[in-house]
Structure 1
Amino acid sequence: MLSKAQIKYIQSLQHKKNRQKSSQYVAEGDKIVQELLQAGMPVRAVYATGDWLEQHTTLLATLSSGAAIPVEAPVLKQLSSLTTPNRAIALVDMPPLADPLPEAGEVTLALEAIQDPGNMGTLIRIADWFGIRKIICSPDCVDIYNPKTIQATMGSIVRVRIAESDITPLLQQTAVPSYAATLHGQNIADFPAMKEGIILIGNEGRGLSEEVIALATHRITIPRFGGAESLNAAVAAGIICGRLLI
């Protein structure tokens, strides 16, 4: 049985400052918890209904330094940040940030000032779909461990490394090509498939900063045939990856 102090601590991780202080986050949902365990992520505890724990005894045996704790549905509702709580919640240690410098021969996704947690989670999921192994986030991006972000990744958070860096100095330090998504660039259909480089995606409302655009080796645009003013950042990233990585 969880104590009031334990419940209060898990609830506190819904706030960024508490996640940063403890270097822990909460992941909710059957699929995400299973993927965390399968990937050998540093899961400290799993809180789940008794039937969920019984269904996953083999997987839970992989918990090397954590505990599987049965909780009743009303307690799960207290722990959850969702309107409809899932049957399983994991308490997870944050892994160390990756080296932000892009690696030769690899494609990296760099995000500047992404603010919506759902967008961020979808961007991580898109990176995973296209085999992009690292995302670089500017310091003013939404916290990747926001519960809504973790939920939106649908488990992809376990396969994509996250780095943090200001984008401008990063572009000044690297020799790999960079592709800035803008409204006034060159048609992405004009470019061959990427073998290495950085795909740059900017803020949902403002797009990329002028400084970043100026430093990019290529400015790319998804051609527009209708009247929409712009595309959602994650949608744009998916289209760009689908065109440049295949």
Structure 2
Amino acid sequence: MESLRVAIIGANGKTGRLLLSQILKEQQKREGDKVWQNPVAIVHADEQARHLMDEYHVDSYVFDLEKASVDDLCSILRSTGVNACVFTAGVGTHGGIDQLFTVDLDGCIKVVEACEKVGVQRFIHVSAIRIEDREFWWNLEGLKSYFIAKRSADHFVKSSSLDFTILQPGWLHVGEGTGKVLPLDRINEKSSEGYSLKREDLASMIIQCLLHPEKTSRRTICLANGDQPIDKFMACL
């Protein structure tokens, strides 16, 4: 397969950092076959970029999802020669309603538009579980706007020309990954637990999606921790 150089939008976030770490470990493990090139960290502020460069020794760039233009991001993508992009950014439940729409929604739209303009076809969007089920999220306290923004972003991604994968995890938790998820046909077994998923396992799934576009391109995949090893989950897709 083509050597992967991945731009991580939101690389300073909890999932973004885990993904950076895992890509760098994969790069060391697979050094002989050159599957991975150094990833590119794209963050919100200069201080974040300097910190990631010092900690991970990766190229880091500042792109303000709210204020910067699509052409600004095009310049970064062209100059770095990336061939895949992962959108892990978002204010989520911690920001105001305005930022849900300027970052989680329009920020994602800007990234998709930039990828289309420069020809970066592979795109992975981290969304949320059961996004199409309004009965599930309509009355969740404080989350309605979040789900509306994420759902709209998903729909924009699906309408694009990109080879996308939309990952829809349940509630994300820190801690050591389990290396296991639930098969898709059993996903609702975790409904009472909020479809919980370790962030480390989400990062592992992103890695697998990047390595296996033939199984994951133009697909939406719901995720929760379970009893099926991730490699077997991928084999069953």
Common topology (TM > 0.5): no
Q: Which structure would you say has the larger Rg?
A: 1
- Give the TM-score, by structure 2 length: 0.35
The structure in which a higher percent of residues are strand is: 1
